[in-house]
């Protein structure tokens, strides 16, 4: 099932699980996403829900596994399903529903390929092929086909529900800058005027920290930085503060926001170039979930793409690391590779893929990422309707022209600005200079 971000994928499995007898397993890619969904369900009155993940101590995990029959919804990562003890415990239960959230992660052609997701077809088989639901917001036809294959779904018995990726209430603004100074000045002014709360996305953890500090100083607003180097418990705290409007602006890397059920986000701004159209759509879809007017800003400075070139070079293993792993085993490279490289090599070895084919697959993935980045650059630079370009990427056509559509078609920015707040701030600044204020009162200036 493909539904645009923010239109209710979670309710699909929650409602189905409610009417089915047995345990509903929801495979989820992020700890923060699991925790948020568990808390949301508990707040709505469903107490038979738990997440089995690394946040739990050994004793807590054992307690959950020994009491699985007491739960109706179990959130779990694909990595956790690889543990023999976990799979053995699940085999003893009646599985009502097997849900794969963010299902594009299964496909090597998806924008966030996770090799551990490839095992889910075998897990389904081990659990006697339960009723399965695969959910995503951004999957092209090729990715959807790959999902069906990798999950080992019966080609004659599965059904697809594909909905438009369009979110008409989100205006699409792109701005191109020549210098870093211009970009930062525009950012400060945009955030000052823009209705909040909002999210600003970065490709750099360091830059997220720097801009959060800059905006806090310049605008006196409640802003925080969120990225992978922030401690897990602190990330959860920041997430909850944002959900409850204690923080009005988050400067984040791409992990923030997935599954966040916050309806009043008025804008999403990309300070750095997204790596591909699918990720871009996923992230801007976190705005305007309440249906209100919202806007997605995309700031681009020539050369921003270099960040992604550098990330791509470090993301997949080079020939020497692959050859070492194939000759001496995965342990030979453990201290020389990052987590993504390790997962890639481990998957190749576990699947019995030859060294030559492993190199070929790596090169294909690198080529795919280059193609995706070029598509993103084309989107920024096109003078055509940007909404139509996004729709075309997913095989859709624009059916009607919107009043506030995109940068190419025209946007009335005043609809998205906090006019009263800006006027109030300006008055406060004037009042702070009492001499100028007195002169103004007596018409002497």
Q: How far apart are CA 176 and CA 190, in angstroms?
A: 14
Q: Percent of the chain having pLDDT more than 90?
A: 57
Greatest Cα pair distance, the chain, in angstroms, is: 87
Distances (CA, A) of 256 to 100, 169, 240, 250: 20, 22, 12, 9
Per-residue model confidence (pLDDT) at position 431: 52
pLDDT in tens, 238-257: 888 998 999 999 999 876 76
Return the structure tokens found at 153. 């779904």
Domain 170-304+375-423 has CATH 3.40.50.300: yes
Per-residue model confidence (pLDDT) at position 317: 92
Per-residue model confidence (pLDDT) at position 33: 78
CATH 3.40.50.300 in the chain, residues? 9-150, 170-304+375-423
Spans in the chain with pLDDT lower than 50:
422-424, 427
Report whether 72 contacts 38 (CB < 8 A).
Answer: no
Per-residue model confidence (pLDDT) at position 437: 55
Residues 46, 52, 53, 57: is their CA dihedral positive or negative?
A: positive
Stretch (H or E) spanning 134 = strand 132-134
Fold that domain 9-150 belongs to in CATH: Rossmann fold (3.40.50)
Residue 271 main-chain phi, psi, to 5 deg: -75, -30
How crowded is residue 437: how many other Cβ atoms within 10 Å of its Cβ? 12
Return the residue matching tokens 């695969």.
134
Radius of gyration, alpha carbons of the chain: 24
What strands, in cross-sheet order, belong to the sheet with 23-27?
49-52, 73-76, 23-27, 95-100, 132-134
Per-residue model confidence (pLDDT) at position 435: 60
The structure's pTM equals 0.84
> Residue 162 forms beta bridges with which residues?
2
Torsion angle, alpha carbons of 27, 208, 222, 282, to 10? -40
Pairing of strands 23-27, 95-100: parallel
């Amino acid at each position: 099932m493909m539904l645009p971000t923010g239109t209710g994928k979670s309710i699909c499995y929650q409602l189905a699980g409610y009417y089915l007898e047995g345990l509903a397993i929801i495979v989820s890619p992020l700890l923060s996403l699991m925790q948020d969904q568990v808390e949301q369900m508990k707040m709505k009155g469903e107490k038979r829900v738990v997440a089995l993940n690394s946040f739990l101590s050994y004793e807590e995990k054992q307690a959950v596994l020994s009491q699985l029959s007491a739960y109706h919804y179990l959130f779990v990562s694909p990595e956790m399903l690889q543990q023999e003890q976990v799979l053995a415990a699940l085999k003893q239960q009646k599985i009502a529903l097997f849900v794969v959230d963010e299902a594009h992660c299964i496909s090597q052609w998806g924008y966030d390929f996770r090799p551990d997701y490839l095992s889910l077809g075998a897990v389904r088989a081990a659990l006697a092929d339960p009723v399965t639901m695969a959910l995503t917001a951004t999957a092209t036809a090729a990715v959807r086909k790959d999902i069906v294959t990798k999950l080992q779904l019966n080609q004659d018995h599965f059904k697809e529900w594909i909905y438009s990726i369009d979110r008409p209430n989100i205006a699409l603004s792109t701005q191109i800058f020549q210098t870093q100074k211009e970009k930062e000045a525009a950012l400060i002014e945009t955030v000052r005027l823009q209705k909040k709360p909002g999210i600003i996305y970065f490709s750099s953890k360091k830059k997220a920290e720097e801009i959060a500090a800059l905006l806090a100083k310049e605008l006196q607003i409640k802003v925080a930085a969120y990225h992978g180097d922030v401690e897990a418990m602190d990330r959860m705290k920041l997430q909850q503060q944002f959900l409850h409007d204690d923080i009005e602006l988050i400067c984040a890397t791409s992990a923030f926001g997935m599954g966040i059920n916050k309806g009043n986000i008025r804008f999403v701004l990309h300070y750095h170039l997204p790596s591909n159209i699918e990720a871009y759509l996923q992230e801007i879809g976190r705005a305007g979930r309440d249906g209100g007017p919202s806007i997605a800003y995309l700031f681009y400075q020539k050369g921003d793409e270099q960040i992604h070139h550098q990330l791509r070079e470090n993301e997949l293993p080079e020939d020497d690391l692959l050859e070492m792993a194939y000759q001496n085993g995965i342990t030979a490279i453990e201290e020389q590779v990052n987590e993504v490289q390790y997962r890639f090599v481990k998957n190749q070895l576990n699947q019995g893929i030859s060294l030559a084919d492993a190199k070929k697959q790596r090169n294909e993935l690198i080529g795919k990422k280059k193609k995706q980045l070029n598509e993103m650059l084309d989107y920024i630079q096109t003078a055509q309707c940007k909404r139509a370009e996004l729709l075309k990427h997913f095989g859709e056509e624009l059916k009607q022209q919107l009043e506030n559509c995109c940068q190419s078609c025209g946007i009335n920015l005043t609809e998205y600005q906090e006019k009263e707040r800006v006027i109030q701030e300006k008055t406060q600044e004037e009042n702070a200079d009492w001499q100028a204020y007195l002169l103004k009162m007596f018409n002497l200036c």
